[in-house]
Copies of this chain bind each other. A is one copy, B any other.
Amino acid sequence: MNGSRTKTQAGANLPALRHHNAALVLDLLRAAGAEGISRLELAEGTGLTPQAVSKITARLREDGLAAGAGLRPSTGGKPRTVLRLVPDAQFAVGLHLDRDGLTAVLVDLAGRPVAVTRAPLDLGAPADRVLADAADAVRDLCAAEPHKPVLGVGVAVPGPLDHRDGVLRRVTGFPQWDGYPLRAALAERTGLPVTLDKDTNAAALAVALALDEPRGDFAYLHLGTGLGAGLVLGGEVHRGARTGAGEFGHQTLQLDGPLCGCGGRGCIEALCLAAEARGDRAEAARVLGAGAANLVGLLGIDRVVLGGRTVAADEDAYVRGVRAVIEERAARGGAGTGVTVTVARGGDRPVAEGAAHLVLAPVFGRVGERVGGARG
Protein backbone atom coordinates (compact mmCIF):
# COMPACT_ATOMS: atom_id res chain seq x y z
CA MET A 1 0.00 0.00 0.00
CA ASN A 2 0.98 3.63 0.39
CA GLY A 3 2.13 3.72 -3.18
CA SER A 4 2.99 7.34 -2.83
CA ARG A 5 4.42 8.95 -5.89
CA THR A 6 7.01 11.57 -5.23
CA LYS A 7 7.84 12.50 -8.77
CA THR A 8 7.42 16.21 -8.80
CA GLN A 9 6.25 19.20 -6.88
CA ALA A 10 2.70 19.22 -5.61
CA GLY A 11 -0.23 21.23 -6.83
CA ALA A 12 -2.52 22.39 -4.08
CA ASN A 13 -6.30 22.33 -3.79
CA LEU A 14 -8.77 23.49 -1.18
CA PRO A 15 -8.35 20.58 1.23
CA ALA A 16 -4.61 21.11 1.00
CA LEU A 17 -5.06 24.80 1.73
CA ARG A 18 -7.25 24.00 4.71
CA HIS A 19 -4.77 21.48 6.04
CA HIS A 20 -1.88 23.87 5.58
CA ASN A 21 -3.49 26.68 7.52
CA ALA A 22 -4.77 24.38 10.23
CA ALA A 23 -1.27 22.97 10.65
CA LEU A 24 0.13 26.48 10.92
CA VAL A 25 -2.32 27.36 13.66
CA LEU A 26 -1.65 24.11 15.48
CA ASP A 27 2.07 24.79 15.33
CA LEU A 28 1.60 28.18 16.96
CA LEU A 29 -0.65 26.62 19.59
CA ARG A 30 1.99 24.02 20.28
CA ALA A 31 4.72 26.62 20.55
CA ALA A 32 2.60 28.66 22.95
CA GLY A 33 2.41 25.70 25.32
CA ALA A 34 0.25 25.80 28.44
CA GLU A 35 0.29 29.61 28.39
CA GLY A 36 -1.91 29.63 25.34
CA ILE A 37 -2.31 32.20 22.61
CA SER A 38 -5.15 34.46 21.54
CA ARG A 39 -6.94 34.47 18.19
CA LEU A 40 -5.51 37.79 17.23
CA GLU A 41 -2.00 36.67 18.00
CA LEU A 42 -2.63 33.65 15.80
CA ALA A 43 -3.80 35.98 13.04
CA GLU A 44 -0.68 38.08 13.44
CA GLY A 45 1.52 35.01 13.36
CA THR A 46 -0.01 33.43 10.30
CA GLY A 47 -0.90 36.49 8.25
CA LEU A 48 -4.50 35.29 8.06
CA THR A 49 -7.47 37.48 8.92
CA PRO A 50 -8.90 37.20 12.43
CA GLN A 51 -12.11 35.87 10.96
CA ALA A 52 -10.25 33.05 9.21
CA VAL A 53 -8.51 32.21 12.47
CA SER A 54 -11.88 32.11 14.21
CA LYS A 55 -13.18 29.62 11.68
CA ILE A 56 -10.07 27.47 11.86
CA THR A 57 -9.94 27.43 15.64
CA ALA A 58 -13.65 26.61 15.76
CA ARG A 59 -12.93 23.51 13.69
CA LEU A 60 -9.98 22.62 15.89
CA ARG A 61 -12.12 22.96 19.01
CA GLU A 62 -14.79 20.81 17.43
CA ASP A 63 -12.18 18.14 16.76
CA GLY A 64 -11.00 18.37 20.34
CA LEU A 65 -7.53 19.61 19.40
CA ALA A 66 -7.87 23.06 20.90
CA ALA A 67 -9.71 24.50 23.90
CA GLY A 68 -10.24 27.80 25.65
CA ALA A 69 -7.94 28.65 28.52
CA GLY A 70 -9.18 31.77 30.23
CA LEU A 71 -8.98 35.42 29.34
CA ARG A 72 -6.24 37.98 28.94
CA PRO A 73 -6.48 41.18 30.95
CA SER A 74 -8.41 43.80 29.03
CA THR A 75 -6.55 46.57 27.27
CA GLY A 76 -9.53 48.87 27.13
CA GLY A 77 -12.00 46.61 25.41
CA LYS A 78 -13.28 43.08 25.41
CA PRO A 79 -10.55 40.82 26.77
CA ARG A 80 -8.95 38.27 24.45
CA THR A 81 -9.87 34.64 24.80
CA VAL A 82 -6.81 32.46 25.20
CA LEU A 83 -6.65 29.18 23.30
CA ARG A 84 -4.38 26.27 24.00
CA LEU A 85 -3.57 22.93 22.47
CA VAL A 86 -5.28 19.94 24.10
CA PRO A 87 -2.21 17.76 24.47
CA ASP A 88 -3.94 14.50 25.24
CA ALA A 89 -6.26 14.59 22.24
CA GLN A 90 -3.90 12.41 20.25
CA PHE A 91 -0.70 10.51 20.86
CA ALA A 92 2.28 9.14 18.97
CA VAL A 93 4.76 6.38 19.65
CA GLY A 94 8.51 6.86 19.31
CA LEU A 95 10.84 3.90 19.01
CA HIS A 96 14.59 4.04 19.35
CA LEU A 97 16.18 0.87 18.06
CA ASP A 98 19.79 1.05 19.21
CA ARG A 99 22.55 -1.48 18.96
CA ASP A 100 22.03 -2.75 22.48
CA GLY A 101 18.68 -1.43 23.60
CA LEU A 102 15.13 -0.57 22.70
CA THR A 103 13.57 2.60 24.08
CA ALA A 104 9.92 3.22 23.42
CA VAL A 105 7.95 6.29 24.41
CA LEU A 106 4.36 7.42 24.11
CA VAL A 107 4.12 11.19 23.74
CA ASP A 108 1.14 13.52 23.59
CA LEU A 109 0.56 16.22 21.00
CA ALA A 110 2.71 18.63 22.95
CA GLY A 111 5.59 16.17 22.68
CA ARG A 112 5.61 15.34 26.37
CA PRO A 113 6.29 11.71 27.19
CA VAL A 114 3.47 10.01 29.10
CA ALA A 115 4.93 6.51 29.18
CA VAL A 116 8.39 5.09 28.62
CA THR A 117 9.71 1.56 28.39
CA ARG A 118 13.27 0.37 28.04
CA ALA A 119 14.52 -3.09 27.27
CA PRO A 120 17.77 -4.67 26.15
CA LEU A 121 17.88 -5.53 22.49
CA ASP A 122 20.26 -7.42 20.26
CA LEU A 123 20.24 -5.78 16.84
CA GLY A 124 22.14 -8.81 15.63
CA ALA A 125 19.22 -11.13 16.37
CA PRO A 126 16.96 -12.37 13.55
CA ALA A 127 14.71 -9.72 12.04
CA ASP A 128 11.52 -11.45 13.21
CA ARG A 129 12.68 -11.37 16.79
CA VAL A 130 13.59 -7.70 16.72
CA LEU A 131 10.35 -6.88 14.94
CA ALA A 132 8.31 -8.78 17.52
CA ASP A 133 10.03 -6.94 20.38
CA ALA A 134 9.32 -3.61 18.71
CA ALA A 135 5.68 -4.45 18.03
CA ASP A 136 5.21 -5.62 21.62
CA ALA A 137 6.62 -2.37 22.94
CA VAL A 138 4.22 -0.42 20.75
CA ARG A 139 1.25 -2.49 21.90
CA ASP A 140 2.15 -2.09 25.58
CA LEU A 141 2.49 1.67 25.24
CA CYS A 142 -0.80 2.07 23.41
CA ALA A 143 -2.47 0.31 26.34
CA ALA A 144 -1.42 3.26 28.53
CA GLU A 145 -4.00 5.48 26.81
CA PRO A 146 -6.57 2.95 25.68
CA HIS A 147 -9.26 5.23 24.30
CA LYS A 148 -7.20 7.92 22.65
CA PRO A 149 -6.13 7.79 19.01
CA VAL A 150 -2.49 7.01 18.28
CA LEU A 151 -1.36 8.70 15.09
CA GLY A 152 1.48 6.39 14.27
CA VAL A 153 4.91 5.06 15.14
CA GLY A 154 8.19 6.84 14.49
CA VAL A 155 11.27 4.64 14.41
CA ALA A 156 14.82 5.90 14.84
CA VAL A 157 17.64 3.58 13.80
CA PRO A 158 21.40 4.19 13.71
CA GLY A 159 22.58 3.14 10.31
CA PRO A 160 22.16 4.48 6.83
CA LEU A 161 18.61 3.96 5.58
CA ASP A 162 16.07 5.28 3.14
CA HIS A 163 13.46 7.42 4.83
CA ARG A 164 11.28 7.60 1.75
CA ASP A 165 11.01 3.87 1.17
CA GLY A 166 11.31 2.94 4.82
CA VAL A 167 14.07 0.47 4.04
CA LEU A 168 17.24 -0.10 6.06
CA ARG A 169 20.66 0.03 4.44
CA ARG A 170 23.88 -1.42 5.74
CA VAL A 171 23.56 -0.56 9.42
CA THR A 172 27.08 -0.19 10.72
CA GLY A 173 28.02 -3.46 12.41
CA PHE A 174 24.86 -5.28 11.34
CA PRO A 175 25.00 -5.75 7.56
CA GLN A 176 22.24 -8.37 7.63
CA TRP A 177 19.65 -5.60 7.82
CA ASP A 178 20.60 -4.28 4.38
CA GLY A 179 17.45 -4.01 2.30
CA TYR A 180 15.02 -4.91 5.08
CA PRO A 181 11.69 -3.03 4.65
CA LEU A 182 11.28 -2.13 8.31
CA ARG A 183 8.54 0.42 7.78
CA ALA A 184 6.24 -1.90 5.88
CA ALA A 185 6.91 -4.81 8.25
CA LEU A 186 6.20 -2.82 11.40
CA ALA A 187 3.19 -1.12 9.85
CA GLU A 188 1.67 -4.50 9.11
CA ARG A 189 2.29 -5.85 12.60
CA THR A 190 1.01 -2.80 14.45
CA GLY A 191 -1.67 -1.64 12.06
CA LEU A 192 -0.34 1.91 12.46
CA PRO A 193 1.40 4.26 10.04
CA VAL A 194 5.17 4.03 10.50
CA THR A 195 7.87 6.60 9.77
CA LEU A 196 11.53 5.59 9.66
CA ASP A 197 14.53 7.85 10.06
CA LYS A 198 18.09 8.05 11.30
CA ASP A 199 18.61 8.48 15.03
CA THR A 200 20.45 11.74 14.55
CA ASN A 201 17.59 13.18 12.51
CA ALA A 202 15.11 12.21 15.20
CA ALA A 203 17.26 13.81 17.88
CA ALA A 204 17.66 16.95 15.81
CA LEU A 205 13.91 17.21 15.36
CA ALA A 206 13.29 16.81 19.07
CA VAL A 207 15.79 19.52 19.89
CA ALA A 208 14.50 21.83 17.18
CA LEU A 209 10.95 21.67 18.46
CA ALA A 210 12.09 22.39 21.98
CA LEU A 211 13.61 25.71 20.88
CA ASP A 212 11.80 29.00 21.16
CA GLU A 213 12.42 30.28 17.65
CA PRO A 214 10.01 28.24 15.59
CA ARG A 215 11.52 27.72 12.18
CA GLY A 216 15.22 28.44 12.24
CA ASP A 217 18.07 26.48 10.72
CA PHE A 218 20.20 24.52 13.09
CA ALA A 219 22.44 21.53 13.44
CA TYR A 220 22.54 18.80 16.05
CA LEU A 221 25.92 17.12 16.49
CA HIS A 222 25.91 13.77 18.21
CA LEU A 223 29.15 12.48 19.69
CA GLY A 224 28.84 9.04 21.18
CA THR A 225 30.60 5.94 19.94
CA GLY A 226 30.54 7.67 16.58
CA LEU A 227 29.98 11.19 15.33
CA GLY A 228 26.94 12.18 13.32
CA ALA A 229 24.76 15.17 12.60
CA GLY A 230 21.12 15.99 12.08
CA LEU A 231 20.19 19.11 10.14
CA VAL A 232 16.97 21.05 10.53
CA LEU A 233 16.49 23.71 7.85
CA GLY A 234 13.42 25.91 7.91
CA GLY A 235 11.89 23.83 10.68
CA GLU A 236 12.06 20.61 8.68
CA VAL A 237 14.58 17.78 8.77
CA HIS A 238 16.89 17.98 5.79
CA ARG A 239 17.51 14.48 4.52
CA GLY A 240 18.78 14.91 1.00
CA ALA A 241 17.72 12.77 -1.90
CA ARG A 242 18.41 9.38 -0.32
CA THR A 243 18.37 10.25 3.39
CA GLY A 244 22.12 10.44 3.08
CA ALA A 245 22.49 13.93 4.55
CA GLY A 246 24.12 14.35 7.93
CA GLU A 247 27.23 12.29 7.35
CA PHE A 248 29.29 14.54 9.52
CA GLY A 249 31.74 12.12 11.08
CA HIS A 250 33.61 11.19 7.97
CA GLN A 251 34.25 14.61 6.61
CA THR A 252 37.91 15.21 5.99
CA LEU A 253 39.37 17.64 8.49
CA GLN A 254 43.01 16.68 8.14
CA LEU A 255 44.15 15.88 4.62
CA ASP A 256 46.27 12.73 4.69
CA GLY A 257 45.73 12.52 8.43
CA PRO A 258 45.52 9.38 10.55
CA LEU A 259 43.62 6.40 9.20
CA CYS A 260 39.95 6.15 10.15
CA GLY A 261 37.90 2.99 10.59
CA CYS A 262 36.02 3.87 7.41
CA GLY A 263 39.21 3.54 5.38
CA GLY A 264 39.64 7.26 4.85
CA ARG A 265 42.22 9.55 6.32
CA GLY A 266 41.79 12.49 8.64
CA CYS A 267 38.08 12.04 9.25
CA ILE A 268 36.79 14.29 12.00
CA GLU A 269 35.39 11.31 13.87
CA ALA A 270 38.76 9.58 14.02
CA LEU A 271 40.52 12.75 15.15
CA CYS A 272 37.93 13.54 17.74
CA LEU A 273 37.67 10.08 19.24
CA ALA A 274 41.44 9.64 19.24
CA ALA A 275 41.86 12.85 21.20
CA GLU A 276 39.16 11.80 23.64
CA ALA A 277 40.75 8.35 23.99
CA ARG A 278 44.10 9.80 25.03
CA GLY A 279 42.38 12.09 27.50
CA ASP A 280 42.92 15.31 25.57
CA ARG A 281 39.40 16.57 25.83
CA ALA A 282 40.30 20.14 24.86
CA GLU A 283 41.69 18.88 21.57
CA ALA A 284 38.61 16.73 20.97
CA ALA A 285 36.42 19.78 21.51
CA ARG A 286 38.63 21.86 19.23
CA VAL A 287 38.34 19.27 16.46
CA LEU A 288 34.59 19.11 16.90
CA GLY A 289 34.50 22.89 16.87
CA ALA A 290 36.37 23.04 13.58
CA GLY A 291 33.79 20.77 11.99
CA ALA A 292 30.96 22.75 13.51
CA ALA A 293 32.46 25.99 12.23
CA ASN A 294 32.68 24.49 8.74
CA LEU A 295 29.02 23.64 8.99
CA VAL A 296 28.08 27.07 10.27
CA GLY A 297 29.83 28.77 7.39
CA LEU A 298 28.49 26.42 4.78
CA LEU A 299 24.83 26.58 5.78
CA GLY A 300 24.62 29.91 7.56
CA ILE A 301 23.31 28.13 10.61
CA ASP A 302 23.00 30.19 13.78
CA ARG A 303 22.51 27.46 16.31
CA VAL A 304 24.51 24.36 17.14
CA VAL A 305 23.37 21.82 19.69
CA LEU A 306 25.69 19.11 21.01
CA GLY A 307 24.60 15.77 22.36
CA GLY A 308 25.60 12.16 22.94
CA ARG A 309 27.26 10.22 25.73
CA THR A 310 30.74 11.54 25.13
CA VAL A 311 29.58 15.14 25.26
CA ALA A 312 27.44 14.43 28.30
CA ALA A 313 30.57 13.28 30.18
CA ASP A 314 31.95 16.83 30.11
CA GLU A 315 29.42 19.23 28.68
CA ASP A 316 31.24 22.39 29.63
CA ALA A 317 34.49 21.42 27.96
CA TYR A 318 32.77 20.64 24.68
CA VAL A 319 30.50 23.65 24.63
CA ARG A 320 33.37 25.97 25.48
CA GLY A 321 35.71 24.36 22.98
CA VAL A 322 33.26 24.42 20.10
CA ARG A 323 32.12 27.92 20.90
CA ALA A 324 35.73 29.13 20.99
CA VAL A 325 36.50 27.87 17.49
CA ILE A 326 33.33 29.35 16.02
CA GLU A 327 33.81 32.69 17.72
CA GLU A 328 37.43 32.90 16.70
CA ARG A 329 36.49 32.33 13.07
CA ALA A 330 33.71 34.90 13.32
CA ALA A 331 36.14 37.41 14.78
CA ARG A 332 38.38 36.96 11.74
CA GLY A 333 35.51 38.13 9.55
CA GLY A 334 34.13 34.74 8.67
CA ALA A 335 30.65 33.49 9.28
CA GLY A 336 29.48 32.65 12.75
CA THR A 337 28.63 35.92 14.47
CA GLY A 338 25.93 35.36 17.02
CA VAL A 339 25.94 31.60 16.76
CA THR A 340 24.60 29.86 19.84
CA VAL A 341 26.21 26.66 21.07
CA THR A 342 24.29 24.63 23.62
CA VAL A 343 23.96 21.05 24.77
CA ALA A 344 20.96 18.72 24.59
CA ARG A 345 19.98 17.36 27.99
CA GLY A 346 18.73 13.91 28.67
CA GLY A 347 21.31 11.70 27.04
CA ASP A 348 19.69 9.30 24.61
CA ARG A 349 16.07 9.90 25.58
CA PRO A 350 15.63 12.70 23.02
CA VAL A 351 16.11 10.17 20.24
CA ALA A 352 13.00 8.19 21.15
CA GLU A 353 11.03 11.39 21.68
CA GLY A 354 12.31 12.70 18.37
CA ALA A 355 11.15 9.50 16.74
CA ALA A 356 7.66 10.25 17.98
CA HIS A 357 8.01 13.74 16.58
CA LEU A 358 8.56 12.17 13.16
CA VAL A 359 4.90 11.27 13.39
CA LEU A 360 3.77 14.52 14.97
CA ALA A 361 5.70 16.84 12.65
CA PRO A 362 3.26 16.55 9.73
CA VAL A 363 0.41 17.55 12.02
CA PHE A 364 2.19 20.84 12.59
CA GLY A 365 3.16 21.34 8.96
CA ARG A 366 6.77 20.45 9.61
CA VAL A 367 7.31 18.20 6.68
CA GLY A 368 6.98 18.13 2.91
CA GLU A 369 3.22 18.22 3.37
CA ARG A 370 1.59 15.14 1.95
CA VAL A 371 -0.41 17.56 -0.11
CA GLY A 372 0.81 15.87 -3.24
CA GLY A 373 -2.05 13.48 -3.79
CA ALA A 374 -4.49 16.17 -4.76
CA ARG A 375 -6.95 13.48 -5.64
CA GLY A 376 -6.61 11.64 -2.33
Contact = CB atoms under 8 A, between A and B. Distances in A.
Contact of A244 (B49, B248, B300, B372): B300
Contact of A233 (B11, B215, B238, B333): B238
Contacts of A245: 298-300
A356 interface: no
Nearest to A235: B9
Contacts of A253: 252-253, 255
Contacts of A242: 300, 302
Contacts of A231: 298-299
Nearest to A251: B294
A278 interface: no
A147 interface: no
Interface string A252-285: 1111010000111000000100000000000000
Contacts of A291: 252
State which size class the interface on A falls in. Answer: 35 or more
Contacts of A21: 11-12
Interface stretch (A40-48, A102-110, A120-128, A308-316): A40-48
A45 B263 CA distance: 43
Contact of A45 (B7, B239, B262, B373): B7
A273 to B, nearest CB: 15
Nearest to A374: B47
A334 B47 contact: no
Interface in A139-198: 170
A248 B251 CA distance: 14
Contacts of A27: 9
A358 to B, nearest CB: 17
A365 B32 CA distance: 31
Contacts of A255: 253-254, 257, 271, 287, 290
A241 interface: yes
Contacts of A243: 300
A135 interface: no
Contacts of A333: 170, 262-263
A327 to B, nearest CB: 13
A132 to B, nearest CB: 30
4 tightest CB-CB pairs across the interface, nearest first? A240-B300, A245-B300, A247-B297, A11-B46
Given A7-B45, A12-B17, A231-B298, 8 more contacts: A8-B215, A9-B27, A13-B48, A47-B373, A251-B294, A251-B298, A252-B293, A254-B254
17 contacts: A11-B21, A11-B24, A11-B48, A11-B52, A231-B299, A240-B299, A240-B301, A241-B301, A244-B335, A247-B300, A248-B298, A251-B298, A254-B254, A254-B255, A262-B332, A263-B333, A264-B334
